[in-house]
Structure 1
Amino acid sequence: MQPIKVLFVCMGNICRSPTAEGVFVHLLKQNNALDRFEVDSAGTHAYHVGEPADSRAQQTARQRGIDLSFIRARKFTASDFAHFDYILAMDSDNLAILQRACPEEYQHKVQLFLDYATQFDESDVPDPYYGGPQGFEHVFDLVTDAASGFYQKITH
């Protein structure tokens, strides 16, 4: 059986999308489903290629029992459209960037991640980069909610 391939996308791939990747991998491990998935994250811009997740994102995740240290930033590539089954944008700006670049036959794969949230009404995961620790906490809460909703939707 082919794994379900999921890609989380934000702008620089050091705050939001690596948090989503780490949270989703953790959720899959809790559900003994990691072997059924391939999970990655990427950025629409190449600002931080090769860098680890932002230290504040890592600290927030670590405080909640999730490790992001294995993640390195990369830029989204055109081949990702064909490779991944789900391409989940963290906000409407990155969604628009992906939709403009996406070939017609793959448009159905590109979605807004928070469409899967069940406890929050927000549509965009805000970029916490220029804010304080509370921004990273809020991102973590949003991402955890959407990851759970996404998992439920695709496995049930």
Structure 2
Amino acid sequence: MPAVPAQHTAGPYRIALVCLGNICRSPTAHVVLESRLADAGLAGRVEVASAGTGGWHLGNPMDPRAAATLTAAGYDASRHRAQQYDASWPEAYDLVLVMDEANLADVGGRQPRVGMFRDFDPVDPGGAVPDPYYGGDDGFEEVLAMVERTSDALVVALTASLGADVGDRTSDRTGGGRA
């Protein structure tokens, strides 16, 4: 599992999650990662944001199918509003994680603080999180499964970096939300 870059911002460790429109993949990852961080006792030590490289959906809530998938799994998807990625984010955030190779190109490619979200995936490291927008409901469920296991691994990496003790709080998760 890769290590997270050392913190370079003041305050909490800051992570940005980026996809194309900020209505499906990155907000799903945002909601799940925040939940996993809270479960691990890291909510006050790690801050999460998400954005899209395109501005089509600015201010809009999450895609209703993504929100329904999250809600069915026990997560709260109601607070999300789409925002657009800004080129200053690699300096403003400790870690920027994108959902696919096109997003990676849009943010300027791999950099010391920029990589793929699934670099932390224990099943398929470095793979893309497929965009479910033009598909059926099963695509949103597939994305949620990828995001949950990757978020669990990312929490372990953050815990190692920040010196906190996660214990078994992430390893015993079986895929459910915050029920």
Q: Is contact 1:9-1:94 (8 Å) kept?
A: yes
State the percentage of identical aligned residues: 40
In the alignment, what sits opposite 2:103?
Answer: 94
Compute the TM-score of the two structures, normalised by the length of structure 2: 0.80
- Please report how far the alpha carbon of residue 150 of structure 1 lies from its aligned counterpart in structure 2 after TM superposition: 1.2
In the alignment, what sits opposite 1:47?
Answer: 56
CA distance in 1, matches of 2:129, 2:33: 15
- Please report how far the alpha carbon of residue 124 of structure 1 lies from its aligned counterpart in structure 2 after TM superposition: 0.4
Unaligned runs of 5+ in 1: none
In the alignment, what sits opposite 2:149?
Answer: 145
CA distance in 1, matches of 2:62, 2:112: 28
Q: 2:22 aligns with which of 13, 21, 26?
A: 13
CA distance in 2, matches of 1:78, 1:98: 7
Give the CA RMSD over aligned residues. Answer: 1.5
In the alignment, what sits opposite 1:131?
Answer: 135
More helix by share: 1
- Please report how far the alpha carbon of residue 62 of structure 1 lies from its aligned counterpart in structure 2 after TM superposition: 0.6
Q: Is contact 1:60-1:137 (8 Å) kept?
A: yes
Q: Is contact 2:96-2:114 (8 Å) kept?
A: yes
Q: Can you list the C-alpha shifts for 1:7-36, whole angstroms capped at 9, x where unaligned? A: 000000000000000000010111121000
List, as ranges, runs of 4+ consecutive aligned residues in structure 1 with deviation greater than 6 Å.
none
Q: 1:34 aligns with which of 40, 43, 46?
A: 43
* Change beyond 3 A, Cα 1:138–1:122: farther
1:78-117 matches, within 5 Å, as 78-99=87-108, 107-117=111-121
Compute the TM-score of the two structures, normalised by the length of structure 1: 0.92
Q: Can you list the C-alpha shifts for 1:69-91, whole angstroms capped at 9, x where unaligned? A: 11110010122121100100001
